[in-house]
Amino acid sequence: MEQFKIKLHKEKFNFSSAHFITYNGHCENLHGHNYHVNAELTGIIGSDFLVLDFTVVKPLITEICNSLDHRVLLALKNPHLKYDVSDEEIEVKFGKRRYIFPLEDVIQLPIENTTAELLARHISNKLIHVLEDKQLIRGQNIKSIQIEVEESSGQRAIYLSEQF
């Protein structure tokens, strides 16, 4: 069976966000990136001779990027961080380090760390969820989705999802 790929790389597939990661018992300083996202979908073409229509997929990726834009990214599943959430703010603690952010300035992500790798997985999962909700992944037409997150020029992480 023939397989085809569509690749999407648009200027609007970007977001600017602040984050910090924990690793080897350390916590990075809060800093930001101008992230860029690329997507690749592999599958078989349907009766319309498309894997998926570009005009359908582009706004979905844009919407996901916009949800992350101009926010502080927080990894809620990070076992090294302690969170205290009130109606208006969120306090994040790592050892003696403490941050307090207005809730409207953060996005609380269901991930273990805000690395480019896990951001790529998060974006992939969000895209798959939306495609399934819109019944755009039908039968086995889509075989894989690959999301690439570039946090700065020459530094990128790629997540490949082959199970939906």
CB-side neighbour CA atoms (13 Å) of 148: 15
Q: Which of 9, 26, 63, 70 is catalytic?
A: 70
Q: Which of 33, 122, 150, 151 is catalytic?
A: 151
70 is catalytic: yes
Quote the DSSP letter at residue 103. G
Q: Which of 27, 33, 65, 150 is catalytic?
A: 27
- What percent of the residues of the chain are helix, what percent strand, and what percent coil, each to the nearest 5? 20, 45, 30
**Active site (annotated) includes residue 151:** yes
Residue type (1 letter), 2: E
Strands 97-102 and 82-85: unpaired
Please confirm, yes or no, whether 122 is among the known catalytic residues.
Answer: no
C-beta of residue 6 within 8 angstroms of C-beta of residue 57 = yes
As annotated, the active-site residues are: 27, 70, 151
